[in-house]
Amino acid sequence: MAPAHVTESDGTNPNPPLFGSLAYLVLNLPVGIASFVFVVTATSVGLSTAIIWVGVPILALAMLVWRGAARLERQRVNSMLRTYIATPYRPLPEKMSDQWKTRVKDPATWKDMTYFLLMLPIGIAEFTLMVTFWSVSLWLLLLPLYFGFLPAEWSPVIDDHPVLAVDSAFEALPYAALGAILLAVSVALTKGLGTLHARYARAMLGPSARKLDAMRWDTSTSGFAGVTL
């Protein structure tokens, strides 16, 4: 594998773009479902059949898959959240048996697995917040434009009193103003969650601070830091 390069972008404060953050946070739900199902299913089957040795290759394959998925996730974070994450894995020796021992003893392997297990609850929360805030804010903001196309009984009723009853574009303006405020909140929330997830992904999928300092030292002395995926 090609060596990972420690660049100036690594270690800086993440500043993800708005729409990149929005797309990333929404996609975390299907990514979280797929990754959680795979890790739980593969490890459960592998551990339950390890006593007859059938589970050993299953666990080995699962480990390779989630390490490969972590590599793709680093690229996804880099492309959508503009946050570079250095490769954290220990260099692999030439002997095949020693390579597997290195993978198993490497803390980055188990951090990758933990990241994908936690992606499901995190993805549910991020997806719910994004869909709720953006849909409600845009619905209110654009209400003066489409209220005339709504059915007559569209307004919800509480205690026999209609809520959000709008009969003209002028009556819809206060709701549009509220929608503009919520839209500003949605933008700030999206940027904030994108930044938080970028930091979280760097902490879970990247090297430790100590290893990163060592990689930077290698970069300054030899031009790059060699880390094998």
For helices 107-141 and 18-48, give the axis angle rounded to 10 degrees.
Answer: 140
**228 pLDDT above the threshold of 60:** no
Beta bridge partners of 157: 162
Terminal-to-terminal C-alpha distance of the chain: 6
Q: Is the pTM of this model over 0.85?
A: no
18-73 pLDDT, tens per residue?
999 999 999 999 999 999 999 999 999 999 998 888 999 999 999 999 999 999 99
The answer to whether residues 39 and 117 touch, using CB atoms and an 8 Å cutoff, is yes
**127 pLDDT above the threshold of 90:** yes
* pLDDT greater at residue 64 or residue 8: 64
The answer to whether residues 205 and 88 touch, using CB atoms and an 8 Å cutoff, is yes
